[in-house]
Amino acid sequence: MKQLLESSLKSAVLYGQHYLANGKVASYIPELAKADPHQLGLCLITKEKEIYHAGDWLVPFTMQSISKTFSLIAALQTSGYQKVFSKVGMEPTGDGFDSIVQLETKQLIPFNPMINAGAIVTVSCIDSKDPVKEFLDLVHKLCANNEIKINEATYLSEKKAGMRNRSIAYLLESDHILEGDPEIILDHYFKMCSVSVTTKDLAHYAWVLANDGLDPTTGERLIEGWIVRIVKTLMMTCGMYDESGEFAVKAGIPSKSGVGGGIVSVAPNGIGIAAFGPALNKKGNSVGGTHMIEYLSKELNLHYFANQSDITA
């Protein structure tokens, strides 16, 4: 098994490299445009807590939209199910991650917590004197790394360039969905997106989710089971934006991406995976990352809906 995992991760990185020419680093946040589009890294943690890795697994990047899963957990923990889902829905959009159109044409509350509008709402639902500290404490615990912190340059860059998010927040405010000052909520959102992590950190987080919120090595409960169920389901249905359906067919693993190039994937059998590759496809997902996860899914039989007579095309 050890050899299979080591060689699969190495081959996945080589496989991902073939697709990098189809991608571009994010440029709408100037600080992200500095990333090296050739980087690719992977980390996988087994149920028994064995760590496997390949490529640029320890290169730091900002979690961006992956923060949306942590802010959802923090909102559910501090405000509860009823409150959070009275302000944000559970449906995929089929639109881009920063789309504003449905808030005007379909319903006032954002479709789900994985798009920008939904995450701005969940951030506003973190019921704490210091929501950013609440968020960082959660990240430290679930990634098992107390050194994780905000990348200040990215935070300032996001804050300066964040006009679209500002438009979303003010529209939500005008419809009485946001509680609190939009500028303060946006500031918290930008800080959370700018938290710097590595695939090792995110693979640990995925591992906790893959083990239903328990650390299987100690039996300690780190997140409540009902919250894990919600987060994993929304990752599967909405985590890759308007590519969620295709990714569910091809990889079949609940996953969440970020424009920093990260993808966190909660695999079956207690396996946590994180991928990194800053070159993005047109939907804003890591082009190398999506292909590496698809490769691992086939190679290690990690598709949630795979079956014995499944001959994958």
DSSP-assigned letter for residue 126: -
Decide whether 46 or 99 has the Cβ nearer to ligand DON: 99
Active site residue 259: yes
Q: How far is the CB of 98 from ligand DON (least distance, A)?
A: 5
**Residues 93, 102, 151, 165: which binds ligand DON (CB under 6 A)?**
165
Q: How far is the CB of 258 from ligand DON (least distance, A)?
A: 4
Decide whether 9 or 236 has the Cβ nearer to ligand DON: 236
Q: Which two tokens stand for residue 121?
A: 């709402």
Does 117 sit near ligand DON (CB under 6 A)?
A: no
Per DSSP, the three-state class of 265 is: strand
Does 284 sit near ligand DON (CB under 6 A)?
A: yes
By CB under 6 A, the residues from 69 to 108 that bind ligand DON are 97-98
Sole window of 87-95, 180-188, 256-264, 291-299 interacting with ligand DON (rule: CB under 6 A): 256-264
Q: How far is the CB of 48 from ligand DON (least distance, A)?
A: 31
Q: How far is the CB of 165 from ligand DON (least distance, A)?
A: 5
Does 259 sit near ligand DON (CB under 6 A)?
A: yes
**Residues 46, 65, 71, 151: which binds ligand DON (CB under 6 A)?**
65
Amino acid residing at 180: G
What are residue 305's phi and psi, to 5 degrees? -110, 15
> What's the angle, vertex CA 273, arms to CA 192 and CA 267, rounded to 5?
110
Does 287 sit near ligand DON (CB under 6 A)?
A: no
Active site residue 65: yes
Decide whether 192 or 208 has the Cβ nearer to ligand DON: 192
Number of residues that bind ligand DON (CB under 6 A): 13
Per DSSP, the three-state class of 1 is: coil
Q: Is the separation of the CB atoms in 171 and 104 below 8 Å?
A: yes
Q: How far is the CB of 51 from ligand DON (least distance, A)?
A: 25
Distances (CA, A) of 127 to 106, 223, 285: 28, 17, 30
Per DSSP, the three-state class of 201 is: helix
Kindly report each contact of residues 294-299 with a partner whose C-beta sits within 8 Å and lies 24 or more positions away, as own/partner.
Answer: 294/247, 294/250, 294/251, 295/8, 295/11, 295/12, 295/15, 295/16, 296/8, 296/9, 296/12, 296/42, 296/44, 297/250, 297/251, 297/252, 297/253, 297/267, 299/8, 299/11, 299/12
Helix, strand, coil percentages in the chain from 3-state DSSP, rounded to 5: 50, 10, 40
**Residues 257, 265, 281, 290: which binds ligand DON (CB under 6 A)?**
257
Binding mask 144-163 for ligand DON (x = CB under 6 A): --------------x-----
Q: Is the separation of the CB atoms in 295 and 280 below 8 Å?
A: no
Active site residue 304: no
Q: Which of 19, 189, 205, 295 is catalytic?
A: 189
Amino acid residing at 176: H
- Where along the sequence are the contacts to ligand DON (CB under 6 A)? 64-65, 97-98, 116, 158, 165, 193, 257-259, 284-285
Active site residues: 65, 68, 189, 241, 259
